[in-house]
Chains A and B, each alone.
Chain A
């Protein structure tokens, strides 16, 4: 059924809750419309794919980063009105009160609809994140050539 170019490829650079919400909503919509959909997570976006525990970094800067940049999809802060973490709680409450799906729910829905989750190798290395720090739903660890191949075959390419 999938024509070769009936694809959507989305680079998720941001780890902001609101932007990730947009990325996951669009990905879910693409997959629901029968498109072969890939989310390519890089830099701060990798926090979406991280387990809810600090990474075991080796270098001093890596250790500092692992303390300051805690991962896990439930820890993402909004791009505005973050208020040092309170914004996340307020936004989550506002979303829940209105019946909007949580980020966790959206990610699970995307996976259920066969959205592919891949992580960028270079940014994993920079942030000293290993495969073991990522959730098992991550299909592969890839580089830019994989992104280019998929994006070139896609009707929808986005960078969020």
Chain B
């Protein structure tokens, strides 16, 4: 799966709740339809990022394992 992101957020090394806090800030900068890539190595992010999408009405596109971290893709579908 190769998704083109409009913005990349580096959350490698961060623990809960920081990846989600930065994600909320990043998403404020994007327009509806744009995609954010969050790079994180905290295991909790695997559950938290889809949960955040569910709660906020944004679309979780999927995740791709990279070298020592995971790339999560989120599409902004709600204001």
Contacts and interface: CB of A to CB of B under 8 A. Distances in A.
B13 A99 contact: yes
Contacts, number: 43
28 contacts: A1-B78, A1-B79, A25-B17, A28-B17, A29-B20, A29-B21, A31-B21, A31-B24, A32-B17, A32-B20, A32-B24, A32-B52, A33-B24, A33-B56, A34-B24, A34-B56, A98-B15, A99-B13, A99-B14, A100-B15, A101-B14, A101-B15, A101-B18, A106-B17, A109-B17, A112-B21, A113-B21, A113-B24
Interface string A9-36: 0000000000000000100110111100
A25 B23 CA distance: 14
B-side interface mostly: helix
A98 B15 CA distance: 8
A32 B21 contact: yes
Interface string A88-110: 00000000001111000010010
Sorted from nearest, which 4 A-B pairs have the closest CB atoms? A32-B24, A33-B55, A28-B17, A25-B17
Contacts of B20: 28-29, 32
Interface residues of B, number: 16
A25 B79 contact: no
Contacts of A28: 17, 20-21
B16 interface: yes
Interface in B1-43: 13-18, 20-21, 23-25
A38 to B, nearest CB: 17
A33 B20 CA distance: 9
Contacts of B52: 32-33
Nearest to A1: B79
Contacts of A106: 17
